[in-house]
Amino acid sequence: MQLDEVLLIIAVFSYAIAAIALILYFFTREEWLKHLGIPLTIAGCFAQFGQLVARYEITHIWPLLNLYGSLSLFAAMSVAIFVVFAFRYKIWFAGGFVVALAAIFLAYGVTWNEGTLPAVPSLQSYWAKIHVPLVVSSYGAFLVSFVLSCIYLVKYYGERSYQMRLAAAVAPAGAAVMPGAMKVSIGNDTPALDAAAASGDAVAAWYTSLPSLAQLDILVYRVVAIGLPLLTLGIITGAWWAKEAWGAYWQFDPKETAALFSWIVYAAYMHLHTRNQWRGMRTSWVSVIGFLSIIFCYLGVNIFIHGLHSYKV
């Protein structure tokens, strides 16, 4: 077995166990699960980068120019970006989902492994070596923001309904039941839940163990703040390369336009986020749509729609 295959197996297994451990940690908050998941996540990520380097060393072919290579980098960058955020902002609770998605994309990438092929002429450009990693890294960031947005939405809707249930349980018959006042501000945005958590309600305690909605929202924003400039730079380098390879920097090729679509969605996200009333639930939905559009742009267009970017010649 070659070194790259060994590293791939290490990465997949590390991710699989890390994902299970961290997803369990998400629900139970057992610290030992986190301490199991963190090193495995990091080990898997290192193994992945090692695997890409090993493939290059063995074949002398830039490994990112087919779906297998780019999906590997996508998975690795998602995890790498997440790890940096997790250490900075203590968000390991979200790690299981990021790692699980990374593992799924990596495993899917392996099914596209066609062995070693030299690049077709239009991909034989140093721009390919700059453009692809940038775009794929932006996808990685958006994967992380997607997971955090989903957690935001789970907390938002879950807390609302749970708080409503709590309120109904204590409210005298006929009294108006106020839905959870979801004022997004720093600190305590769910007093009823906090009170229930303090008096031993396990579900309430679980909700309150997550960061506040305002904090989750800002986390999403921070990750989009990595993804959007990277996507912009990715589109710019892609356009530059297109100018050299196909004669025009923009030809409305399906891949370009799909990337433009995602870019507009995130630009809309950014604008909505400047408004207090729209920050939070609505922007989280936009972030979810943004990531779905990224996956469409990435896999849907590569696989189902033929254009200049479909790499199979």
The site for ligand HEM (CB under 6 A) is made up of: 267, 270-271, 273-274
**H-assigned helices in the chain:** 3-28, 31-59, 67-89, 95-110, 126-170, 191-198, 202-209, 213-246, 254-272, 281-295, 301-304
CB of 106 to ligand HEM, least distance (A): 32
CB of 13 to ligand HEM, least distance (A): 40
Among 49, 108, 261, 285, binds other proteins (CB under 8 A): 261
21 close to 40: Cβ distance less than 8 angstroms = yes
Binding mask 119-148 for other proteins (x = CB under 8 A): -xxx-xx-----------------------
Give the C-alpha distances (Å, rounded to integers) separating 159 from 126, 216, 276, 278: 50, 14, 20, 19
Which of other proteins, ligand HEM, none binds 310 (CB below 5-8 Å, type-dependent)? Answer: none
Closest to other proteins by CB, 168 vs 236, is: 236
Q: In angstroms, how far is CA 280 from the centroid of its own chain?
A: 17
Residue 182 contacts other proteins per CB under 8 A: no
Closest to other proteins by CB, 38 vs 228, is: 228
Residues 216-245 that bind other proteins (CB under 8 A): 217-218, 221, 225, 228-229, 232-233, 236, 239-240, 243-245
CB of 134 to ligand HEM, least distance (A): 17
- Start-to-end C-alpha separation, the chain: 30
How many residues bind other proteins, per CB under 8 A?
Answer: 59
CB of 241 to ligand HEM, least distance (A): 21
d(CA 86, CA 256): 32
Give the C-alpha distances (Å, rounded to integers) separating 127 from 236, 237, 247: 11, 7, 14
DSSP 197-210: HHTT-HHHHHHHHS
d(CA 50, CA 69): 13
Which of ligand HEM, other proteins, none binds 129 (CB below 5-8 Å, type-dependent)? Answer: none
HSE, side-chain direction, 13 A CA sphere, residue 56 = 12
Which of other proteins, ligand HEM, none binds 229 (CB below 5-8 Å, type-dependent)? Answer: other proteins
Structure tokens at 88: 């900075």
Structure tokens at 294: 């990224």
Which of other proteins, ligand HEM, none binds 106 (CB below 5-8 Å, type-dependent)? Answer: none
Which of ligand HEM, other proteins, none binds 59 (CB below 5-8 Å, type-dependent)? Answer: none
Which of ligand HEM, other proteins, none binds 214 (CB below 5-8 Å, type-dependent)? Answer: other proteins
Q: Give the contacts of 313 (CB within 8 A, at least 6 positions apart).
A: 120
d(CA 212, CA 201): 18
Residue with smallest beta-carbon separation from ligand HEM: 274
Residue 272 contacts other proteins per CB under 8 A: yes
Q: Give the footprint of other proteins on this chain (CB under 8 A).
A: 88-89, 113-115, 117-118, 120-122, 124-125, 184-187, 212, 214-215, 217-218, 221, 225, 228-229, 232-233, 236, 239-240, 243-250, 252, 254, 257-258, 260-261, 264-265, 267-268, 270-272, 274-276, 278-279, 301, 305, 313
